[in-house]
Amino acid sequence: MWNCFIIVLSLFCITAHSQTEDKSVIIIGSGLSGYAAARRLIENGFTDIKILEALDRTGGRIYSVPFSDGFVDLGAQWCHGQTGNIIYEMTSPHFAFGSTPFETVDPYFRFSDGSLPEQDIYVKLYGEGYKIIHSIDRVTTPNVPFGDLFMQKFNAVLATTTYQNINPEVVKYVKAELVKNVMGFFGANSWNDISPKVNNEEEKAGGDQHCTWKKQGFQTFINYLTKKSPNPSENLNIDAKVILNKKVTNIQYNKDDAAGQVTVNCADGTSYTATHVIVTPSLGYLKAHYKTLFTPALSGPKAVEIESRGVGNLGKFFMKFATPFWVLDNEPFLGIEGMWLDADKQAAIADGREWLLGIVAVYGVESFPDLLEVFLAGDYVGTFENTDTEKVIADITWWLEKFAPYMKPVPRPLAVARTKWMTHEFFLGSYSYPSMAEEQNNVRTSDLAAPIINIDEKPILLFAGEATDSKFPSMAHGAVNSGFRAATEIIEYYQA
């Protein structure tokens, strides 16, 4: 009986100690993962939460800016998928998404001298390529880069009777378009840096892959995440926990100190302490700073994953015009996939317009009949970011008039909104992708996600952000899931 009492008392003490323990959390970064972590913690009774954000705004790679008669997204633009996508699932009961029908709309090919290739054969071969791209999503073969695997399968298609007499020029140009699109999708700078095997281990939400936020922008979701919407009386007031302009320069932790606090030092000389710190800066930022951001420095598989996983580059800009001069005879505008003839490519480089080589395509924008969107991928994104807006306007005018002479004279846009992610000190890239280095070094997003625990098994340093999600890395919904996961790791410690 006495023994039983002691056991019950000690169990009570452990739980009571845990419940009354100092439970403070610092979240570094106010992107989706940081906000998701804050929401889950608040809903589980945590009150001492600070979100330190280096920028003078919240949202990170969710960046909806006022443009035309609504908002356009300089960061994440589409909700990719419906079933299994936490963003769609949380939002769709309250919000009617739009859709960009990329998957069903034929690409519209044009050469850089303004001539139109025979669309049918281009579209047909491009469709074959896209089927291969989708089939590679499900490949488990080790040690074969995406591009090599693609070419093995593409060459097999070209050897069939349908294509054996095809003009090699058609193959050359269609292949160039497919490479650009793969780079655009993964944000990778080379398709041979992408690992199909690692990619296969990731998942894809089902349903429409291009749900849009119509004129309201991706910021709409943050209102649901923070519970400002649909019922403002349930607002969790997460914004009030954010301290802007707080660039974190060092995080000091001690695994051997059972009761220890983690100290977070900022560039402005201030410092904060907490029992748990959730780290969410982008993989691009971690690659550049992980050796000095943590004391002691990160090591082992976590450091190898930071080095190994890929970070790519995407850019885009929106142009507002008085009239949609790109629409011809009331036909739907299918966008332009521009194919460079070698001489024009050399001329663009010689004329200092080389950033134009990074253009993947030019599209109309769903819900905005007055906008054109230019989408870029790869290394040229950096050149684009370093080109001033006047020159960007002059160069894109040149591009449109060359590839689509029917648009001549292209009017001056009334306004331009443009991205800067690759050269932005707090992002240093667009999003992460499955790389050959990850496959070769046998590391995965889960290695970056693993919390650092102290001798008391307390998770003192936790990692969230899209590049830590094992199901949907790179995506906005992966970022949300990662924030929920990191918060749950803290919550479960106190429930154990």
Note whether 430 binds ligand FAD by CB under 6 A. Answer: yes
Residue number, 318 or 421, with CB nearest to ligand FAD: 421
Angle between helices 119-136 and 146-158 (to 10 degrees): 130
Count of residues near ligand FAD by CB under 6 A: 40
Note whether 248 binds ligand FAD by CB under 6 A. Answer: yes
Q: Applying CB under 6 A, which part among 70-78, 97-105, 129-137, 250-258 lies near ligand FAD?
A: 70-78
With vertex at residue 442, the alpha carbon angle to CA 438 and CA 447, rounded to the nearest 5 degrees, is: 80
Note whether 28 binds ligand FAD by CB under 6 A. Answer: yes
The reply to whether 144 sits in an annotated binding site is no
Residue number, 75 or 107, with CB nearest to ligand FAD: 75
Residue of 396, 436, 476, 487 that binds ligand FAD (CB under 6 A)? 476
Closest C-alpha among 480, 463, 458, 460 to residue 471 = 480
What's the CA gap between 340 and 357, in Å, rounded?
8
Note whether 29 binds ligand FAD by CB under 6 A. Answer: yes
Residue number, 55 or 149, with CB nearest to ligand FAD: 55
For the CB of residue 100, give the shortest distance to ligand FAD in the complex, in Å.
10
Residue number, 194 or 248, with CB nearest to ligand FAD: 248
Residue number, 308 or 445, with CB nearest to ligand FAD: 445
Note whether 226 binds ligand FAD by CB under 6 A. Answer: no
Note whether 247 binds ligand FAD by CB under 6 A. Answer: yes
For the CB of residue 176, give the shortest distance to ligand FAD in the complex, in Å.
22
Residue number, 157 or 288, with CB nearest to ligand FAD: 288
What's the CA gap between 147 and 100, in Å, rounded?
27
Residue number, 133 or 475, with CB nearest to ligand FAD: 475
Note whether 54 binds ligand FAD by CB under 6 A. Answer: yes
For the CB of residue 388, give the shortest distance to ligand FAD in the complex, in Å.
20
Residue of 25, 26, 27, 32 that binds ligand FAD (CB under 6 A)? 32
For the CB of residue 477, give the shortest distance to ligand FAD in the complex, in Å.
6
Note whether 80 binds ligand FAD by CB under 6 A. Answer: yes
Binding-site entries for substrate: 375
- Binding residues for ligand FAD, rule: CB under 6 A, are 28-34, 52-55, 60-62, 75-78, 80, 246-248, 280-282, 285, 314, 419, 421, 426-427, 430-431, 465-466, 474-477, 479
Binding-site entries for FAD: 33, 53-54, 248
Binding-site entries: 33, 53-54, 248, 375
